[in-house]
Amino acid sequence: MEAITIKDIAKALNLSTSTVSRALRNSYEINPETKRLVMEYAEKMNYRPNPIALSLKDSKSKSIGVIIPEIANHFFSQLINGIESIAYNLGYHVVIFQSHDSYEREVANTNYLVSRKVDGLLISLASLTTNLFHFQDLMEKGLPIVFLDRVPKEIETHKVVADNFDGSYRATVHLIESGRRRIAHVTSPIYLSITTERLAGYKKALEDFDIPFDESLVKYCIYGGKVVEENEAAMEELLNLPEPPDAFFTASDRLTTGCMAVLQKRHIKIPEEIAIVGFTNISVAELLNPPLTAVVQPAMEMGQQAVELLIRLIEHPQKTGDYEIRSLQTSLILRDSSVGSKVNIKVS
């Protein structure tokens, strides 16, 4: 007979797996009646916690695994510094892995970290990840996981994100108020949470100023700027539109600097001909030519809050309240790349 899992119990009782899991751990969040129901059924069906789950529980390694898309990105390196600043003081090692935005690597990294018995995981999803089973499976086995920045809708746990909608909304409003009307949005793959949230902010701003949304002005770069050719092709298409953009709103470090490089190569004046606002934590924004207007995420703080939530899950699994989604405020820092000599155009 195949062993019964938490999933089976959940299905049989018409409950969520996380409810069953918490009921079995005797969490105070689950009402006594549900607990009794779950435990009785589990006993009847001879449910035994998975041995991996047990080993995960029994051998605390005082280490946290972090899997991020890439470290050569100021946002992620600041995120990690935030994580380390808290973890180190609480006696946890921080083990860093890059997924390089590859689903296969993310799975391989996850399996490795689990085999090495980390106490919990902090994850920012790879852009090519669409299947979440590798995480769902571990959570079911009781491994604490907290997601940050690029988070999955489908998994219920703590999540820490920047307020992408608001950051994007304010950046777009700023461009509109500076007189721009054809604002291109060059962004990451459509299936990432950050992409849809930023796109929604951009659309809302256009709507609030009665500027019709034009699909041809939005470019999704599946490699997020890491493949120069992809970025250049997107720029090329935008610049060759019958009505080309008068502003770029770019969604990452590399998309932003890649975009500036293309404009420079083409001798297009920033901001006179085309303005740029980037969603970026690049440290040299001030030193660029021209200095770059940026939506800056509180990356350090995001890392700190995520690791605090994770360590709470690790150390007090029974005290876990409802899972939180924390959304932190971004800052819009105005610099020459978007403000300056562009003449305000009134739309009739």
- Which one of 6, 24, 42, 94 is in contact with its own copies (CB under 8 A)? 94
Q: Which amino acid would we find at residue 221?
A: C
Q: Is 286 in the site for its own copies (CB under 8 A)?
A: yes
Residue 155 corresponds to which tokens in the numbers above?
């998994």
- Which one of 18, 19, 77, 297 is in contact with its own copies (CB under 8 A)? 77
Question: Least CB distance from residue 293 to its own copies, whole Å?
Answer: 14
- Which one of 18, 19, 21, 78 is in contact with its own copies (CB under 8 A)? 78
Query: CA 43, CA 313: separation in Å to the nearest integer?
Result: 26
- Which one of 41, 47, 97, 248 is in contact with its own copies (CB under 8 A)? 97
Whether 174 contacts 191, CB under 8 Å: no
Query: CA 210, CA 220: separation in Å to the nearest integer?
Result: 24
Q: Is 288 in the site for its own copies (CB under 8 A)?
A: yes
Q: Which amino acid would we find at residue 125?
A: L
| Span interacting with its own copies, options 22-30, 151-159, 211-219, 259-267, rule CB under 8 A | 259-267
| Span interacting with its own copies, options 38-46, 87-95, 214-222, 229-237, rule CB under 8 A | 87-95
| Span interacting with its own copies, options 49-57, 80-88, 120-128, 166-174, rule CB under 8 A | 80-88
Residue whose CB is less far from its own copies, 222 or 261: 261
Q: Is 296 in the site for its own copies (CB under 8 A)?
A: no
The sign of the dihedral angle between the CA atoms of 214, 215, 216, 217 is positive
Question: Least CB distance from residue 284 to its own copies, whole Å?
Answer: 5
CA distances from 51 to 31, 58, 107, 249 (A): 27, 10, 20, 49
Strand order in the sheet with 183-187: 218-220, 183-187, 247-250, 275-279, 293-296, 331-333
Q: Is 71 in the site for its own copies (CB under 8 A)?
A: yes
The sign of the dihedral angle between the CA atoms of 160, 166, 172, 177 is negative
Whether 323 contacts 157, CB under 8 Å: yes
Residue 320 corresponds to which tokens in the numbers above?
């876990």
- Which one of 100, 134, 182, 204 is in contact with its own copies (CB under 8 A)? 100
Which residues within the stretch 116-135 sit at the binding site for its own copies (CB under 8 A)? 116
CA distances from 76 to 17, 26, 262, 311 (A): 31, 36, 24, 20
Question: Least CB distance from residue 170 to its own copies, whole Å?
Answer: 24
Q: Is 101 in the site for its own copies (CB under 8 A)?
A: no
Q: Is 201 in the site for its own copies (CB under 8 A)?
A: no
User: What does the buried/exposed string (b/e) look like for 259-268 if buried means 16 or more CB atoms within 10 Å of the residue's CB?
Assistant: bbebbeeeee
**Calculated CA dihedral for residues 78, 79, 82, 83, nearest 10 degrees:** -140
| Span interacting with its own copies, options 51-59, 78-86, 300-308, 321-329, rule CB under 8 A | 78-86
| Span interacting with its own copies, options 37-45, 96-104, 180-188, 231-239, rule CB under 8 A | 96-104
- Which one of 74, 141, 174, 180 is in contact with its own copies (CB under 8 A)? 74
Q: Which residues bind its own copies (CB under 8 A)?
A: 61, 63, 70-72, 74, 77-78, 80-81, 84, 88, 93-98, 100, 105, 108-109, 112, 116, 257, 260-261, 264, 282-284, 286-291
